[in-house]
Copies of this chain bind each other. A is one copy, B any other.
Amino acid sequence: MGKLTLSSRNEIMQSSPIRKLAPYAVKAKNEGVHVYHLNIGQPDIKTSPDMIEAYHNIPPVIEYGPSEGILSYRKKLVQYYKKVNIDVDESNIFITTGGSEAIIFTLLSALSPGEEVIIPEPFYTNYNGFAVMAGVKVVPITTNIDNGFDLPSISEFESRLTTKTKAIVICNPGNPTGAVFSRERLQELVDFARKHNLYIISDEVYREFTYDCRATSILQFEDFEENAVMIDSTSKRYSACGSRIGNIVTRNKELLALILKFGQARLCPPSVDQQAAEAAVDTPDSYFSEVITEYTKRRNTAYRELSAIPGVTVPMPKGAFYMVVGLPVDDADDFARWLLSDFRHNNETAMVAPASGFYATPGLGKNQIRIAYVLKEEDIVKAVNIIRLGLEEYKNR
């Protein structure tokens, strides 16, 4: 007779690794304990006021928009990109529902089922889910905490090449590492990808969040027009994660034509949110300078406080608002759970993301955690102090 079954994708599709800790955080809160959330990428920064304002101007009929996104918004984005030295026109831009859909559509369009994408690890966990959706295989290359998770050498990439390799995904500035890749290292990767006919899919949603340096876009390399696909999003730039407006930028017209076919199937991205995103492009520079000043302080504070803990390894992050930190523990998953379930300091504790979830290679990152410095400085100090005291007690428990 058989029985009703689920998709075989159930076996390869991971649950969110951070999610597994959520019940422990809920339990702590129910016991009246204050939990500092260093685990999530939800900034407390106010959404761009220009964007908020635009939500008040709603048409009488909220209609479908074009599948490739509203034209006036795409034109407005051209201006934005000009400001950050990326020279494209509106025909190069495809609007998506968040950066998530941008990556899914790119993988569906660039890779055939069963083909491979090389991704330096640790990487943004959800790339795994997108790969399952698109039926493609993630091939990780491990990067090193000791050089700040810089791009692996070309020989490393070469050693992962197979007849099925079709693309490389990078995240620059990087989540979860905070790494920002130099133009020189990127040029080497570009030359490699050109030689082997690979796409480079560059997730650049943290472009604005760099400290003491600037991020280089994959679209700024010459003679690489067909291979370069850039993933973007308004979520972090304007602190509007819930708006779910992202986009793809590429000069590869054939690829865009296929992406459009997938886009037509799902009709269009949200109309009102696009209108708000269009208004957000006029956000004054002062908004960003305030935000970057704030994040620079938070980064410096988190770095200073964490570095002072014996046995902790902290590469100075150059961008985004994350850092991967090595701890003097064997099992950071267990430590993170223990912090939530057993450790209290003045009736407070901290929640961190174990880094193992950001590695595709089993067993790696077991002594690392990811910190998102999205809290106020004083709270970062308190939260890191909890980690310090927690490590002592954990060692002696």
A interface, CB within 8 angstroms of B: 1-10, 13-16, 19, 42-47, 51-52, 55-56, 58, 60-65, 67, 97-98, 100-101, 104, 108-113, 115, 126, 128-130, 132-133, 135, 166, 197-199, 226-227, 239-244, 252, 254-255, 258, 261-262, 264-273
Contacts and interface: CB of A to CB of B under 8 A. Distances in A.
Contact of A100 (B9, B51, B166, B266): B266
Contact of A266 (B6, B44, B56, B104): B104
B258 A9 contact: yes
Given A5-B197, A51-B62, A244-B269, 20 more contacts: A2-B197, A4-B227, A6-B254, A6-B258, A7-B110, A9-B112, A10-B109, A15-B261, A44-B61, A52-B62, A65-B242, A97-B101, A101-B266, A126-B265, A129-B262, A133-B265, A241-B267, A244-B271, A270-B273, A272-B273
A197 B2 CA distance: 7
A2 B267 CA distance: 34
Nearest to A65: B242
15 contacts: A2-B197, A6-B258, A8-B112, A9-B258, A16-B261, A45-B61, A51-B62, A56-B58, A63-B242, A65-B242, A97-B101, A97-B244, A113-B113, A129-B265, A244-B270
B42 A60 contact: no
Given A7-B258, A8-B113, A241-B62, A130 B265 contact: yes
A232 B164 CA distance: 38
Contact of A7 (B98, B109, B240): B109
Contact of A58 (B19, B44, B52): B52
Name the residue in A2, A46, A254, A261 with the highest tally of chain B Cβ atoms < 10 Å from its Cβ: A261
Contact of A272 (B55, B100, B104, B227): B55
Contacts of A113: 8-9, 113, 135
B273 A6 contact: no
Nearest to A275: B242
A114 B297 CA distance: 52
Contacts of A198: 4
Contact of A61 (B46, B109, B269): B46
Closest 4 CB pairs of A and B: A129-B265, A242-B271, A8-B112, A100-B266
A254 B267 CA distance: 29
A267 B226 contact: no
Given A13-B262, A104-B266, A197 B58 contact: no
Given A7-B258, A63-B42, A254-B6, A265 B58 contact: no
B64 A241 contact: yes
Contact of A108 (B9, B51, B126): B9
Contacts of A13: 258, 261-262
Contacts of A104: 266
